[in-house]
């Protein structure tokens, strides 16, 4: 599913650990079949594609007269063949979609006498945590397809090294509602404290402004991190613009130590990959 737009800024604890285009997943965490990569669009004569694989990492940049396409992933991802194939399939589909949309946008602008601005898409996958059996990654997304400004967004997956499938971080828990029941209060308190800092005033009690409301984890991008690199012991939360505040406030990013309450709602088949953080 396509995740909400936001700026990526991996929380400090997650960054210390190792450092959602959407995850091809079915509801409940069951993997959908990995799609066969679609043929990439042949560049126009103005294209200047470049790829720079280094020890499993990949960086692609392609520029034509209608679009700029960029896509990258880290070494740890590229060293897992099935994950590299999954990422390559997404790269190919993203490049195909951008080229098609850019061509249509250029034609529409020409037909209506408007100036055409080059479209763009940039996806950057980074490592969140590499623990036995699992690789947790986040993606920073940015795009422009006309309009006053572009969009920026994020996604996250956890790669199952045993089954060779991508899993949504929320699917590791019994339900999104269960995660909200144990993490929601902490998240709301942290969010309101940060809102007050940014706005220069506390959130008014009883406010009916949607930008003052609490946000549930299911409305956010959830990351699974590891402070020690052994098991998942940190939960990251990234909240997109327009969910917790106006565009000008940007995104909100938090991290929480995994405690007994969170551990209790981890699905039994995944519990061995999690640990309470002291």
Judge if 163 and 182 occupy the same domain. no
Domain shared by 231 and 164, yes or no: no
Beta partners for residue 252, in sequence order: 239
Counting beta carbons within 10 angstroms of the beta carbon of residue 64, is it exposed (0 to 12), middle (13 to 18) or buried (19 or more)? buried
Does a structural domain hold residue 239?
yes
Q: How far apart are CA 102 and CA 84, in angstroms?
A: 26
> Mean pLDDT across the stretch 76-92?
97
Q: Are residues 136 and 252 in the same domain?
A: no
Between CA 117 and CA 213 the distance in angstroms is 37
Tell me the pLDDT of the chain averaged across its residues.
Answer: 84
- DSSP tag of 126: E
The pLDDT score that the predictor gives to residue 241 is 82
Using CA atoms, how far apart are residues 215 and 239, in angstroms rounded to an integer?
8
Residue 116 domain-assigned (yes or no) = yes
Give the CATH number for residue 23.
3.30.565.40
The pLDDT assigned to 37 comes to: 35
Angle, CA 241 vertex, CA 222 and CA 69 arms, to 5°? 80
* pLDDT at res. 24: 41
Same domain (yes/no): 138, 34: yes
Q: Please state the pTM of the whole predicted model.
A: 0.79
Neighbours of 147 (CB within 10 A): 8
C-alpha span between 224 and 170 (Å, rounded):
9
- 177 with 165, same domain: the answer is no
Q: What is the dihedral of CA 161, 162, 163, 169, to 10 degrees?
A: -50
Distances (CA, A) of 158 to 127, 155, 167: 10, 11, 5
User: CA 236, CA 191: separation in Å to the nearest integer?
Assistant: 13
- When pLDDT is averaged across residues 39-56 and rounded to a whole number, the result is 46
At 13, list the tokens: 């604890």
Q: Domain count for the chain, please give it.
A: 2
Residues of the domain holding 43: 12-170
| C-alpha span between 153 and 240 (Å, rounded) | 7
pLDDT at 3: 44
More confident residue, 29 or 160: 160
162-196 residue pLDDT tens: 999 999 999 999 999 999 999 999 999 999 999 99
Q: Do 136 and 225 form a contact (C-beta atoms < 8 A)?
A: yes
**Would the pLDDT of 278 be above 70?**
yes
**Residues 211-246: tens digit of each pLDDT:** 999 999 999 999 999 998 999 999 999 988 888 999
- Choose between 240 and 198: higher pLDDT: 198
In whole angstroms, what is the distance from residue 98 CA to residue 83 CA? Answer: 22
CATH number where 253 lies: 3.90.640
Choosing from 123, 153, 170, the residue where a domain stops is 170
Instruction: Report yes or no on 5 lying in a domain.
Output: no
Alpha carbons 150 and 143: distance in angstroms, whole number: 6
Do 144 and 181 sit in the same domain of this protein? no
| Spatial contact of 37 and 93, defined as CB atoms under 8 Å apart | yes
With cut-offs at 50, 70 and 90, classify the pLDDT of residue 52.
Answer: low
- What does the longest C-alpha to C-alpha distance in the chain come to? 63
Give yes or no for residue 16 having a pLDDT over 50: no
Per-residue confidence band for 50, with pLDDT thresholds at 50, 70 and 90: low
231-264 exposure pattern, b = at least 16 Cβ within 10 A, e = fewer: bbbbbbbbbbbebbbeeebbbbbbbbebbeebbe
pLDDT above 70: percentage of residues in the chain: 80
The angle formed by the CA atoms of residues 187, 188 and 189, to the nearest 5 degrees, is 95
């Amino acid at each position: 599913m396509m995740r909400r737009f936001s700026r990526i800024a991996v929380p400090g604890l997650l960054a210390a650990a190792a450092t959602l285009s959407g995850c091809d997943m079915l509801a409940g965490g069951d993997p959908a079949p990995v799609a066969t990569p679609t043929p990439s669009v042949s560049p126009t004569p103005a294209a200047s594609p470049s790829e720079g694989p280094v020890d499993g990492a990949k960086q692609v940049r392609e520029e034509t007269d209608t679009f700029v396409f960029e896509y990258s992933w880290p070494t740890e991802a590229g060293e897992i063949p099935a994950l590299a194939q999954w990422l390559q399939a997404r790269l190919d589909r993203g490049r195909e979609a951008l080229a098609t949309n850019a061509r249509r946008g250029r034609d529409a602008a020409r037909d209506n006498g408007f100036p055409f601005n080059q479209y763009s898409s940039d996806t950057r996958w980074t490592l969140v945590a590499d623990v036995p059996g699992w690789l947790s990654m986040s993606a920073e997304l940015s795009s422009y397809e006309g309009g006053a400004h572009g969009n920026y967004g994020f996604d996250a997956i956890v790669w199952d090294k045993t089954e060779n499938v991508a899993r949504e971080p929320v699917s590791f828990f019994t339900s999104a509602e269960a995660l909200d029941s144990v993490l929601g209060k902490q998240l709301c308190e942290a969010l309101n404290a940060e809102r007050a800092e940014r706005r220069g005033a506390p959130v008014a009690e009883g406010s009916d402004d949607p930008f003052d409301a609490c946000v549930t984890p299911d409305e956010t991008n959830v990351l699974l991190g590891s402070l020690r690199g052994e098991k998942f012991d940190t939960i990251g939360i990234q909240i997109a613009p327009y969910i917790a505040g106006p565009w000008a406030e940007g995104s909100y990013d938090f991290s929480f130590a995994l405690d007994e309450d969170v551990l209790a709602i981890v699905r039994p088949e995944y519990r061995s990959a999690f640990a309470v953080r002291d």
